[in-house]
Amino acid sequence: MKVTTDLIFKILVFVSCVSCNEVNTLNAYVEKDYIKWDSLIEINQLEEVVDTINCIKLQTTENSLMGHVVKLEVDDKYLFIKDSNQKLFVFGIDGSFIRNIGKIGNGPDELLGLFDFYLDKVNKCVNVIDIFRASIFQYTYNGKLINTIKLSNELLRGCGKFFYISDDCVLATKDNSKSSVYNYSVLNVKEKKISHLLRYMITGDLTMSFNQQNKVCHFNDSLYLTSFFSDTIHAYQKDKLAAEAKWIFKGPNKNSNIEYFKNRQYELGIEAERTARENGVSTGITNLHMVNNYIYFTHSCENSIYACFYNKNKGNGYRLKIENENRLLENIITTDNECFICCIPIYELDNINLKTNSKLENILSDSQDDDNPILVCFNVK
């Protein structure tokens, strides 16, 4: 009798444990945070919340002379920068020029165009996308070509920016045109396979330069992404090859959804933006970046563009209008997990409200207008 009771008791405990785990797992699976507009304190100047600022001047030499900075990635003590001239530069963390990577030319090991790049921080290699050769050129951080992966034009069609997922996979943003369907593709470069993520709510011609906006960010080893017109930040799940909603921004306007735009046709994407504004519907969040404590994004509402810093741990943060005093925020290009990194051309520094910074003053006094840009790194309190 005692044995039977014991057994029943054990079974009951086991069943209850199993169901507890299921509930917990299920909760963790669907758990989302809401970034509420009212939880973000409105401030006027960035200086009110900036903790520390550091400035790095990128060395100007004949080989490091760059145009407009398009992409910047940081690993170890290196800064990898692609510019509008389709050149890739490696700088030290102190701003000293180290080398160029990849060379444009006719030769078999040369690039026809340096379309984009992404770092594989695990294997310490730089992957350069040459859309004209439909190939990925893999270089060591020292600039030595180690491998070329031939892809097809079909696989790369409509791809914009590329982001590392794993050895085999890379995430690519997809152009928004009338024929577009998804915001992102995941390319398996070894198996030459493609899958898609996050369906476009709106498509049309001349959309708001989707590829020029930063909708994807790396934080630690994870990839976070938003989609066009969306207020949701997704976490990319490597094992499921899927994007799961992680944070939802609840701004002053209603969240847009696919139902809202379902039966409407837009000749131009920008018409969709106007319709949304007129109807009090959100046009989504963009310029996504993440550091240890904060998520940064911008949101357009009430005829202004707001920069939002949301503290992931505390569930609150700050919001401020991007105006003359806060133009530094327009230049955030990446993060290094610790701080936000802005890239500012020397000739624009006059318009940035940072003149009280002594290090910057020293850099400015020693610079010419056409020197390479300055990186400004800052933390938020």
Partner 1 sequence: MKITSLTLTILFLIGCSGHNSKSLHATPEVVTWKELCVSDTIQKEITISNRSNRNLKIDYIQKPCDCIITKFQHDEINAKDSLKLHLTFIPQYVGYTEQNIFVHFKNTKEKVHLLIKGKVSDDDCL
The residues that touch partner 1, with contacts defined as CB under 8 A, are 65-68, 84-87, 104-106, 112-113, 132, 345, 347, 370
Nearer to partner 1, 131 or 245 (CB): 131
Asked if residues 201 and 261 have their Cβ atoms less than 8 Å apart, the reply is yes
* Residues 6+ positions from 111 with CB-CB distance below 8 Å: 102, 103, 104, 105, 128, 130, 133, 137
3-class secondary-structure state, position 286:
strand
* Residues 6+ positions from 336 with CB-CB distance below 8 Å: 74, 377
Asked if residues 87 and 130 have their Cβ atoms less than 8 Å apart, the reply is no
Asked if residues 285 and 233 have their Cβ atoms less than 8 Å apart, the reply is yes
What are the start-end ranges of the E strands in 102-144?
A: 116-120, 125-130, 135-140
Strand order in the sheet with 340-344: 50-57, 374-380, 340-344, 332-335
Measured in whole angstroms, the distance separating CA 339 from the mean position of its chain's CA atoms is: 14
For residue 124, the minimal CB distance to partner 1 (Å) is 27
- Helices marked H in the chain — which ranges? 2-30, 153-156, 258-261, 269-278, 358-365
CA-based angle 342:348:353, to the nearest 5? 70
For residue 111, the minimal CB distance to partner 1 (Å) is 9
Nearer to partner 1, 65 or 98 (CB): 65
Nearer to partner 1, 66 or 169 (CB): 66
For residue 206, the minimal CB distance to partner 1 (Å) is 13
For residue 176, the minimal CB distance to partner 1 (Å) is 17
Half-sphere exposure for 348 (CA within 13 Å, toward CB): 15
Nearer to partner 1, 105 or 315 (CB): 105
For residue 83, the minimal CB distance to partner 1 (Å) is 9
For residue 113, the minimal CB distance to partner 1 (Å) is 6
Strand order in the sheet with 316-321: 40-42, 316-321, 304-311, 294-301, 285-290
Nearer to partner 1, 68 or 314 (CB): 68
For residue 156, the minimal CB distance to partner 1 (Å) is 15
Asked if residues 242 and 197 have their Cβ atoms less than 8 Å apart, the reply is yes
For residue 345, the minimal CB distance to partner 1 (Å) is 6
Nearer to partner 1, 324 or 368 (CB): 368
CA–CA dist 42, 106 (Å, integer): 54
Asked if residues 321 and 306 have their Cβ atoms less than 8 Å apart, the reply is yes
* Residues 6+ positions from 261 with CB-CB distance below 8 Å: 201, 202, 229, 272
Nearer to partner 1, 49 or 104 (CB): 104
CA-based angle 43:325:96, to the nearest 5? 115
For residue 152, the minimal CB distance to partner 1 (Å) is 18
Nearer to partner 1, 65 or 301 (CB): 65
For residue 68, the minimal CB distance to partner 1 (Å) is 4
Nearer to partner 1, 98 or 112 (CB): 112
Nearer to partner 1, 14 or 132 (CB): 132
